Amino acid sequence: MIFSGTAFRRLVAAACLVIAGSGVAAAREFRAADTQDEGYPTVRALEFMGRLIAERSNGRNQIRVFHSRQLGEERETIEQTRVGAIDINRTNVALIGAFVPSVNVLAMPFLFRSAEHLHKVLDGPIGQEILASFEPFGFVGLTFYDSGARSIYNSVRPVRQLSDMKGLKIRVQQSQLMVDMIRAIGAEPLELPYGQVGTGLATRLIDGAENNWPSYITTGHYKAAGYYTLTEHTMSPEVVVMSRKAWDSLSEDDKSVFRQTARESNIFMRRQWQALEAESMKTAEAAGIAIVKTFDRTPFEAAMADIYVRASSDPVLSRLLERIRQVK
């Protein structure tokens, strides 16, 4: 059968109406932000999640990952995600805690006894409750990613005891909790975006910073700050969130796919993380970094007393702290 041009256009229009009315979701590319460089475990995990989503939606849904701060520094991308300008975001809980109060519990210093303790909390009911708490604030929590243990490094001297921290200018995340923590141990905290730490070290604006092994190495910070003390003061994880606006655009089936693939990307990311963490430690040792492994942690932990008193005055945080401590 041969149709005239007008008839053909009408047929196409009618077909589109049928598809639109059938509840079939339109194809879409979702923008995901990550401040880490290409190849970093969190970036790879987001890309892995994107591949799973594309496969399970027959290509209808795609994720395009913007790494290396292409969409801005972390605080900027969080704000953009909240208003729906960015669809998916990987960020550290310490930063998003300014928007979602309950998540601050995961950034509390010296709270987690080990990585195993952290995983039991994140993978259990507490972790699920914290992810659910994002929704009233414009986000949907999908999953947590590992971020290792954060420790202190600097260019001035090895930190072997609490008094060695006195007067050091230490970069911290843009988080009041992190500011309070560094101030409590006698150092001077300076809030800087992640991408400006290298310049800060080179120009002596800061003496050091605090972060995990992979971040210390992949950024090249170890070349400017050769003293690394295993304080392991926080194990604050990363979190993958979706803007509420993007989430509400999904069908119920697609929401299930996004949640499931996010959980699978978490498992993928942990394997990537463990490999990079071990490799980064070897790189530091080979570079001759002065690594302080044994020191008295007790005064560092004791210095956090006021921080815990303030946190315990919040009924929600107080209950979460107690429940996390009880996880075996």
User: In tens digits, what is the pLDDT along the chain, a chain of 328 residues?
Assistant: 444 444 434 433 434 433 444 445 568 999 999 999 999 999 999 999 999 999 999 999 999 999 999 999 999 999 999 999 999 999 999 999 999 999 999 999 999 999 999 999 999 999 999 999 999 999 999 999 999 999 999 999 999 999 999 999 999 999 999 999 999 999 999 999 999 999 999 999 999 999 999 999 999 999 999 999 999 999 999 999 999 999 999 999 999 999 999 999 999 999 999 999 999 999 999 999 999 999 999 999 999 999 999 999 999 999 999 999 999 9
Which string of b and e fits 106-123 if b means at least 16 CB within 10 Å? bbbbbbbeebebbbbbbe
3-state secondary structure of 12: helix
For residue 27, what pLDDT is reported?
82
pTM listed for this prediction = 0.89
Q: Which two tokens stand for residue 172?
A: 């911290």
For residue 311, what pLDDT is reported?
96
Tell how strand 28-33 and strand 61-66 pair up: parallel
Q: Amino acid identity, residue 64?
A: R
Q: What is the DSSP letter of 57?
A: T
Give the whole-angstrom CA distance, residue 242 versus residue 255: 11
The residue assigned the tokens 């655009």 is: 249
3-state secondary structure of 288: coil
Sequence-distant contacts of 68-75: CB under 8 A, at least 24 apart: 68/35, 68/36, 68/37, 68/38, 69/35, 69/194, 69/195, 70/33, 71/31, 71/33, 72/33, 73/35, 73/193, 73/194, 73/195, 74/35, 74/173, 74/174, 74/193, 74/194, 75/174, 75/193
Identify the helix (H) or strand (E) that includes residue 323: helix 315-326
- The CB density around residue 29, as the number of other CB atoms within 10 Å, is 11
Beta bridge partners of 143: 240
Tell how strand 169-172 and strand 139-145 pair up: unpaired
Burial of 230 (0-12, 13-18, 19+ CB in 10 A): middle
Q: Which two tokens stand for residue 217?
A: 């190495």
Residues 6+ apart with CB under 8 A from 255: 247
Q: Is the dihedral of CA 35, 38, 41, 44 positive or negative?
A: positive
Give the whole-angstrom CA distance, residue 252 versus residue 249: 10
